[in-house]
């Protein structure tokens, strides 16, 4: 193996947590081929670290016995796999048509104002990361958004302060 | 505390809203929802079995052949509820099974992400056993050895509800080896996704299930011939599968009669309304119910405003006008009107809302969610966004509308690798047909000199 290739496989001392390795191994049993556990493996690592650091890619690849490019390709495709550090809480704001028709843009601008950040950014206190998301399937209650695992809608700008207060 | 009222968090927590009470929902007329509780609590195994749940697994697996099951579905004319409307029975009849073929997979497409669609969420959160029962019957008909529920990652509550139900079903012997003493083995794995609308395309979904990027695959071979890991694979939407138990329990003729004279499509459908209607939400109604009746149930448009247009079943369906409200909502009638029934959940647009703005929003969605695999989709959709943004600001150029028309045509069916771009083209084409003057109003200047970027592309 060339020195270059060796570098791309460097895990920079990143080790999968033993519990995560066990969880990934358990996933393997659900599929015909180990590559299939790739997305779940990325999610397992993300649950522990909040995001998926570059060094985790070759570590996951080794665990699954697949090439790092396969894992990297997947990790950069899916919108819920985070490749940069995120805040303690992730806000997903539905920007699709039904919410658009029920004042999504007002909610979005209110969030920008309230948090002082734009999409793709994290508040300086590391509390919130703000991202747009595909139709959340809460169209009858638009505009809708999620904070971590919780779905809310309709959310009026005046509700934001109290709503966000619950996530410290 | 600022100016939010006390209890804001609880008040704005999202809950599915089915606007029919238990007293209105009967087994004979509401096969999808009659077991649901008014409280919205999950129907657990005990509740489900107490209301006849899983009885048809016993009778079908022990008394009917897979071909019988498929024949019933065909006669019932159950058409795919994910939006394409393909006959479920016909799809199942095309699955390779029998001597010499490996047992394959039954995949439930629970990646509900079509803009304006919020129906499968209700079924999965509140009644996962109906889906599981439908999957067992589907697996029996298609000789599938394992089922996957491909659930979008954001549906947290549905994931918990399904996981609990799977455990209950295994404990009770409805999943596992020798189900109901029939000798048939089958189990289900819940797989949660990590985002991206394109995962709802059935071959992209299979790639995603295999742990790959969700690019669609070339067809043929169709999944029923060669799907997940090269095995025969059937992909059905949640609501489609949830229709199967009642068809087998009460018979195909009963199911066809649910829609009666309204439609040649059988059964009922979860219809719904979103946008600025008085009472958004869901209703289980016969196929062929008119848009007018559904909008009436929703109390009309908020604050007495006027309806300008509506999408019959999601962001990838063509806009219709108020005059189309009297059409029966079924796959053929809406198709003949130049749109698609899609998921059957209406999105209403009011008189004062901008069609150009709506289309800009829709095409931003489709451009972002393109998987990037084929050039017309990857490059054509951002182009439409650029033009629509300019027109919305009144900064469109002469010729922009013609380019949009060209894009709507050239991104249509058969011109791209999968149905993503045609889905984006359909609302655009209809908007240009019905509301051309709104686009014309956005043309603010003569065509600029070649090579001059008059409007920044920005981030798409």
Q: Does B114 touch chain A (CB under 8 A)?
A: yes
Annotated binding site of A for [2Fe-2S] cluster: 94, 99, 135, 139
Which residues 382-441 of chain B have a CB within 8 Å of chain A?
A: none
State whether A141 and B353 contact (CB < 8 Å). Answer: no
Residues 279-338 of B with CB under 8 A from A: 280-282, 311, 315
Domain boundaries, chain A: 3-77, 89-165
Interface predicted TM-score (ipTM) of this complex, two decimals: 0.94
Distance from CA of B448 to the nearest CA of A (A): 31
Which DSSP string corresponds to B102-158? --EEEEEEE---STT--SHHHHHHH-HHHHHHHHHHHHHHHTEEEEEEEE-TT-HHH
CATH class of A89-165: alpha beta
C-alpha distance from B229 to closest chain A C-alpha (Å): 7
Q: What is the pLDDT along chain B (460 residues), one digit of tens a residue?
A: 444 455 888 889 999 999 999 999 999 999 999 999 999 999 999 999 999 999 999 999 999 999 999 999 999 999 999 999 999 999 999 999 988 999 999 999 999 999 999 999 999 999 999 999 999 999 999 999 999 999 999 999 999 999 999 999 999 999 999 999 999 999 999 999 999 999 999 999 999 999 999 999 999 999 999 999 999 999 999 999 999 999 999 999 999 999 999 999 999 999 999 999 999 999 999 999 999 999 999 999 999 999 999 999 999 999 999 999 999 999 999 999 999 999 999 999 999 999 999 999 999 999 999 999 999 999 999 999 999 999 999 999 999 999 999 999 999 999 999 999 999 999 999 999 999 999 999 998 777 666 555 555 555 5
Characterize B279-301 residue by residue with b for buried, 16 or more Cβ atoms within 10 angstroms of its Cβ, and e for exposed.
ebbbbbbbbbbbbebbbebbebb
Which residues have a Cβ under 8 Å from the Cβ of B361 and sit 6 or more positions away? A95, A96, A97, A100
Residues in chain A within 8 Å Cβ distance of B152: 137
Q: Decide if B357 and A100 are in contact by the 8 Å CB cutoff.
A: yes
- A140 vs B8, B11, B281: nearest CB: B281
Q: Return contacts of B164-170, CB within 8 angstroms, 24+ apart.
A: B164/B42, B164/B44, B164/B128, B165/B42, B165/B44, B165/B45, B165/B128, B165/B129, B165/B132, B166/B128, B166/B132, B166/B190, B168/B44, B168/B45, B168/B129, B169/B45, B169/B129, B169/B132
- Residue B129 in tokens: 């056993």
**Which residues from B are below 8 Å from A101, CB to CB?**
274-276, 347-350, 353, 358
């Amino acid at each position: 193996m060339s020195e270059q290739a060796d570098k791309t496989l460097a895990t920079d001392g990143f080790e999968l947590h033993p519990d995560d390795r066990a969880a990934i191994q358990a996933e393997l049993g659900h599929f015909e081929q180990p590559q299939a556990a790739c997305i779940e493996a990325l999610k397992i690592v993300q649950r522990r670290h909040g995001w998926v650091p570059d060094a985790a890619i070759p570590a996951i690849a080794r665990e699954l016995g697949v090439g790092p490019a396969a894992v990297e390709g997947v990790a950069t495709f899916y919108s819920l796999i985070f490749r940069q550090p995120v805040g303690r809480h992730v806000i997903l704001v539905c920007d699709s048509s039904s919410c658009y028709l029920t004042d999504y843009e007002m909610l979005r601008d209110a969030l920008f104002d309230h948090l002082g950040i734009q999409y793709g950014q994290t508040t300086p206190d590391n509390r919130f990361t703000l991202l747009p998301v595909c139709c959340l399937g809460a169209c009858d209650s638009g505009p809708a958004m999620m904070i971590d695992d919780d779905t809310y809608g309709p959310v009026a700008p005046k509700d934001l302060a109290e709503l966000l207060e619950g996530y410290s | 505390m600022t100016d939010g009222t006390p209890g804001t968090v609880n008040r704005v927590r999202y809950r599915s809203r089915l606007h029919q009470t238990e007293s209105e929902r009967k087994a004979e007329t509401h096969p999808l929802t009659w077991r649901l509780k008014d409280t919205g609590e999950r129907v657990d195994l005990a509740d489900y079995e107490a209301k006849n749940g899983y009885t048809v697994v016993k009778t079908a697996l022990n008394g009917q052949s897979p071909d019988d099951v498929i024949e019933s579905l065909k006669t019932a004319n159950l058409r795919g509820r994910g939006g394409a409307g393909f006959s479920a029975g016909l799809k199942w009849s095309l699955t390779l099974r029998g001597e010499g073929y490996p047992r394959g997979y039954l995949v439930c497409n629970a990646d509900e992400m079509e803009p304006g669609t919020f129906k499968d969420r209700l079924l999965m959160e509140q009644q996962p056993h109906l889906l599981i029962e439908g999957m067992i019957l589907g697996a029996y008909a298609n000789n599938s050895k394992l089922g996957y529920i491909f659930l979008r990652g954001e549906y947290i509550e549905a994931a918990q509800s399904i996981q609990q139900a799977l455990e209950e079903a295994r404990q009770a012997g409805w999943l596992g080896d020798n189900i109901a003493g029939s000798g048939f083995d089958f189990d289900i794995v819940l797989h949660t996704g990590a985002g991206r609308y394109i995962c709802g395309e059935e071959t992209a979904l299979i790639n995603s299930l295999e742990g790959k990027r969700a690019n669609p695959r070339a067809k043929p071979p169709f999944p029923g011939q060669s799907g997940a890991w090269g095995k025969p694979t059937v992909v059905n939407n949640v609501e489609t599968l949830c229709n199967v138990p009642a068809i087998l329990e009460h018979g195909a003729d009963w199911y066809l009669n649910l829609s009666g004279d309204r439609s040649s499509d059988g059964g009922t459908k979860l219809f719904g309304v979103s946008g600025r209607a008085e009472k958004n939400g869901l209703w289980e109604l016969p196929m062929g119910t008119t848009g007018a009746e559904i909008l009436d149930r929703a109390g009309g448009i908020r604050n007495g405003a006027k309806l300008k247009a509506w999408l019959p079943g999601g962001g990838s369906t063509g806009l219709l006008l108020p005059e189309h409200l009297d059409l029966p909502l079924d796959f053929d009638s809406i198709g003949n009107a130049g749109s698609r029934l899609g998921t059957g959940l209406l999105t209403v647009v009011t008189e004062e809302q901008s069609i150009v703005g709506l289309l800009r929003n829709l095409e931003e969605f489709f451009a972002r969610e393109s998987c990037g695999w084929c050039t017309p989709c990857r490059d054509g959709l951002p182009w439409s966004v650029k033009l629509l943004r300019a027109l919305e600001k009144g900064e469109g150029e002469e010729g922009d509308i013609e380019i949009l028309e060209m894009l709507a045509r050239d991104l249509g069916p058969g011109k791209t690798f999968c149905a993503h771009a045609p889905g984006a083209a359909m609302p655009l084409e209809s908007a240009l047909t019905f509301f051309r003057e709104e686009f014309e109003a956005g043309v603010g200047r003569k065509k600029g000199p070649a090579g001059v970027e008059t409007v920044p592309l920005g981030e798409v």
